[in-house]
Amino acid sequence: MGRPSLSVGHHGDIHAHRLSKDAWQARAYVRDGYGKRRRLSRTRRTKNDAINAVQEALRDRHRARVRPSSRQGRLDWLTSHTYRKTVATLLDEGGLTARQIADQLTHRKPSMTQDVYMSRGVTGDAAARVLELHDPRINGH
């Protein structure tokens, strides 16, 4: 019989391994609020620094979980993901680049930030003007 699965909000053991002469990676698996098992890893110059970085990330992840009591109910929808999405949207609307937003959200790849957190539903006036040129209802073509 295998070991029991992680319960929501809990993490497994932290393991570290050497990547190169000057780099260590520590990682742990955590069960998120949606029941998904996710790998959390951090790379640092020393083994202890890498392990400490994972421990800090796990503490931050735990603090970010907002779970009001069921009788309050008004904030049941609020999760760390919705908060991060809101921050990313505000930064995007403020004109920051995908790289700057990724740095704020601590993503290594801006493409992850763009795919998951940045809005794609907003179109500019320029696109509307070009499409209107080809609309027969507007131009009578």
Tokens of 130: 């070009």
Which domain covers residue 22, as residue numbers?
1-64
Predicted TM-score (pTM) of the model is 0.44
**Up-side HSE of residue 76: CA atoms within 13 Å toward CB?**
6
Q: How many domains does the chain have?
A: 2
- What is the tens place of the pLDDT at every residue in 71-110? 455 666 677 778 888 888 888 888 889 899 888 888 888 8
Domain boundary among 25, 41, 64: 64
Please say whether the beta carbons of 106 and 100 come within 8 A.
no
Statement to judge: residues 49 and 102 lie in one domain: no
Helices (H), the chain: 47-64, 80-93, 98-104, 110-116, 125-133, 136-139
Q: What is the mean pLDDT of each run of 10 residues along the chain (141 residues)?
A: 66 91 92 80 94 88 57 63 83 88 87 80 69 69 53
CA distance 112 to 96: 16
